[in-house]
Amino acid sequence: MAVNLTDFFKGMSLLYAEDEIVSRVLYEDYFRDYFNTIYVAKDGQEALELYNEKKPDILFLDINMPILNGLDVCKAIRIDDKKTKIILLTARTDKQALFEAIELGLTTYLEKPVRREQLKEALFKLSQEIGESSKILLRHSNEFSYFWDTHKRELFCNSDVVSLTKKEKLFLELLVTTHHDKIDYEQIYSIVWFEDYNSENYSELSIKSLIKKLRTKLPSGMIKNAYGEGYYLA
């Protein structure tokens, strides 16, 4: 089934850096069809500052920009960040720069002038990469695979979504993101009941009831309890 790009990128943020004002306005207008949050930079230095401040999910960077070029921005980002998706916009004369960019883990590059069809193809490629990298396998057998999708924030059994309540999702997400660390009752209560958190109203019974119901939707033995320490995924 084809990906609905508008739904897929909803809630994600984009940093777009371009020094040519006409291109900047046109491309920004196009990106607003897909992203609710867009940061725009007119040079490489501004792009790097916005990246450090906003931590966007995706970057579209022109190679030829003043102060810092797009390649130098990529290199600075990749020192500590190997995962953020980056697409470079290049001129035909930028071949040597692209050779340098190969090891920087780009999603792709686009030669300017970029047509809307090319931008859409690049967004589809991004959606595929993000979709695959967001899946965390929780349990596998010959009959089923359970995995948590960090992008959609959904639990899947094979290709089917497992229906979870809001609190069940929050608790499972907490277990997944803390890997195999043990989570005690107070930590569970502060995260899962964060909207109405009050330490005076803390209830182990509520937590145990939540976990009991969630266990019925997961393979046997997946949620473990270490006495006196807390819960974890096995």
Among 60-74, 98-112, 135-149, 168-182, which is the least confidently predicted range?
98-112
How high is the pLDDT of residue 100? 67
> Is residue 101 very low, low, confident or very high in pLDDT (cuts 50, 70, 90)?
low
CA distance 186 to 101: 47
> Is residue 98 very low, low, confident or very high in pLDDT (cuts 50, 70, 90)?
low
Q: Is the pLDDT of residue 111 over 50?
A: yes
CA distance 32 to 91: 24
Average the pLDDT over 118-132 and give the result. Answer: 87
Tokens of 115: 């047509």
CA distance 210 to 196: 16
- Position with higher pLDDT, 40 vs 108: 40
How high is the pLDDT of residue 40? 97
For the ranges 1-5, 112-116, 196-200, the maximum mean pLDDT occurs at 112-116
How high is the pLDDT of residue 1? 45
Average the pLDDT over 197-221 and give the result. Answer: 84
Q: How confident is the prediction for the chain on average, in pLDDT?
A: 86
CA distance 33 to 61: 19
Among 5-14, 64-73, 108-117, 197-206, which is the least confidently predicted range?
197-206
Q: Which residue has the tokens 């980002």?
A: 77
pLDDT by residue (tens digit) across 33-47? 999 899 999 999 999
Q: Is the pLDDT of residue 153 over 90?
A: no
pLDDT by residue (tens digit) across 224-234? 998 888 999 88
How high is the pLDDT of residue 103? 67
How high is the pLDDT of residue 177? 83
Among the listed residues 48, 30, 46, 28, the one whose alpha carbon sits nearest the alpha carbon of residue 38: 28
Determine the longest span between alpha carbons in the chain, in angstroms. Answer: 66
Show the domains of the chain with their CATH numbers: 5-133 (3.40.50.2300), 135-233 (1.10.10.10)
CB atoms within 10 A of CB 1: 3
Dihedral of CA atoms 136, 137, 138, 142 in degrees, nearest 10, equals 170
Task: Name the burial class of residue 151, with classes exposed (0-12), middle (13-18) and buried (19+) by CB atoms within 10 angstroms of its CB.
Answer: middle
How high is the pLDDT of residue 96? 66
> Is residue 189 very low, low, confident or very high in pLDDT (cuts 50, 70, 90)?
confident
> Is residue 144 very low, low, confident or very high in pLDDT (cuts 50, 70, 90)?
confident
pTM: 0.63
Dihedral of CA atoms 73, 77, 78, 79 in degrees, nearest 10, equals 110
Among the listed residues 130, 7, 112, the one whose alpha carbon sits nearest the alpha carbon of residue 62: 112
Answer for the pair 32, 40: CB distance below 8 angstroms, yes or no: no
